[in-house]
Amino acid sequence: MSFATNVKNEITKFNGTKTENIALLSGFIRNNGSFTKNKIELITENSTIAKKIYQLFKEVYQISPQIITQKTNNFSKKNIYKIKLENNLSKIQEDLSLTKDGKKQDTPQEYIVAEEEEIRCYLMGAFLSKGSINDPKTARYHLEYLIENKKEAEFIKKLLNKFDLNSKILTRDKGYMVYIKEAEKIGDFLRIVYASNAVMYYEDIRIYRDHKNMTNRLNNCEQANMDKIIETATEQIKDIEYLIEQDAYELLDEKTKETAEYRLKYPEASLQELSEIISYETNSPITKPGLNHRFRKIRELVKRMKTN
C-alpha cells in the first residue's frame, strides 16, 4: 500500500461536526465525478474512501448512496467504486455550495470554509479526491492536488497558504497542479489534515534523511580537506626534492631544513599535525603559521632558482 493511500485512509477516520462534514463533502464532490440537478456520481479506487463518503451522506442528509463496484480494464486489476445518488438533489447541492439558484459554482461560498476547522475539512475532502503525496523515502518531497478548474485550483492554493504552506500552481495538459515541495511544509500539511500516524512516519524518515545528508556533507567536506592536505604536502615535498637535486638544500637555514626533514619523514601529515610532531620531538614549539612561513621560504627559493 502506498504512502498516499495510507494518508487518505487515515483522513477517512476523522469524525467531524455537521458543518465540518459538509465542508469535507463539498471539497470531495467538487473535485470528483459529475453532478446534475437529479444525480451525483462519484468515482474512487479506494474502498475506504467510498465507505467514508457513503457514511457522510447518511449522517448529514439521511440518505444512502448506491455503491457500484466495477473491475478496471487495465492490467492493474483494481476495482473502481462508483457512488451514485439520484432523484431531487438540488437542496443538497445548494447546501454543499456546488450550485446556487440552480447554477454550478466555480468555488464554494464563504460559509463552507468560514472557520479554520472547516478549511481543514475542505482540504481533506479535496485531497481524498485529487491529492497525492510522495513517500518520504523517495528521492524528492512532493505533495499535489490535480485540479481541473482553474478557479478551484486557485481557491485550494489560497486555503493551503492560510496555513503558510507556500503552495504554488503549475498548468498541466489536463488542468492545474497545486503543489508543495518543501519537506517541512508537507509535514505541516499532514498535521493540518489530522494524519498523525503519517506525520510520525514522515518526520522519522525526514529526520533520518536530513541527518544522512548532513553526514554526507561532512564526509565530503572532510574528504575535500584531506585531498587538500595531501595536495599541499605533495607540492612541499616536490620543492624539497628539487632543492636536493639542484644541490641547493644547504641554502636553507637550520630551522627550515629541520622542517623539510620532518615533511619528508611525515609526508601525509597536515600542517597542524606536523607542528605538533616537531614541537613534541624537538621540544621547541612551532605553530602552524610558523611552519607555513618556513614552507613559503622553500617555495620562494625554488621559484628564484627556476626563473634564473
User: What is the structure's pLDDT at 212?
Assistant: 65
Give percent of the chain with pLDDT exceeding 70: 95
Residues 167-223 pLDDT 10s: 999 998 889 999 999 989 999 999 999 998 998 998 888 877 776 667 677 677 767
Q: What is the DSSP string of 111-162?
A: GGGSSHHHHHHHHHHHHHHHEEE--TTSSS--EEEEES-HHHHHHHHHHHHT
User: What is the structure's pLDDT at 218?
Assistant: 66
User: What is the structure's pLDDT at 133?
Assistant: 94
Cβ contact 289:274 at 8 Å: no
Give percent of the chain with pLDDT exceeding 90: 43
User: What is the structure's pLDDT at 112?
Assistant: 94
**Average pLDDT of span 230-251:** 87
Residue 74 in this model has a pLDDT that exceeds 70: no
Q: Which domains does the chain possess? A: 3-194 (3.10.28.10), 219-307 (no CATH)
User: What is the structure's pLDDT at 75?
Assistant: 62
Pairing mode of beta strands 103-104, 143-147: unpaired
**Average pLDDT of span 76-84:** 83
- Distance (Å, whole) CA 162 – CA 156: 10
Residues 286-306 pLDDT 10s: 898 988 898 898 888 889 888
User: What is the structure's pLDDT at 197?
Assistant: 92
Q: What global pTM score does this model have? A: 0.69
Q: Which of 33-37, 47-51, 90-94, 171-175 has the lowest mean pLDDT?
A: 33-37
User: What is the structure's pLDDT at 302?
Assistant: 87
Residue 51 in this model has a pLDDT that exceeds 90: yes
**153 or 213: whose pLDDT is higher?**
153
Residue 29 in this model has a pLDDT that exceeds 90: yes
User: What is the structure's pLDDT at 25?
Assistant: 95
At a CB cut-off of 8 Å and minimum separation 6, what does 172 contact? Answer: 146
Residue 283 in this model has a pLDDT that exceeds 80: yes
User: What is the structure's pLDDT at 213?
Assistant: 66
What is the sign, positive or negative, of the torsion defined by CA atoms of 252, 255, 256, 258?
A: positive
Measure the CA angle with vertex 171, ends 167 and 173; round to 5°: 140
- Give the three cell numbers for residue 90: 438540488
Cβ contact 19:36 at 8 Å: no
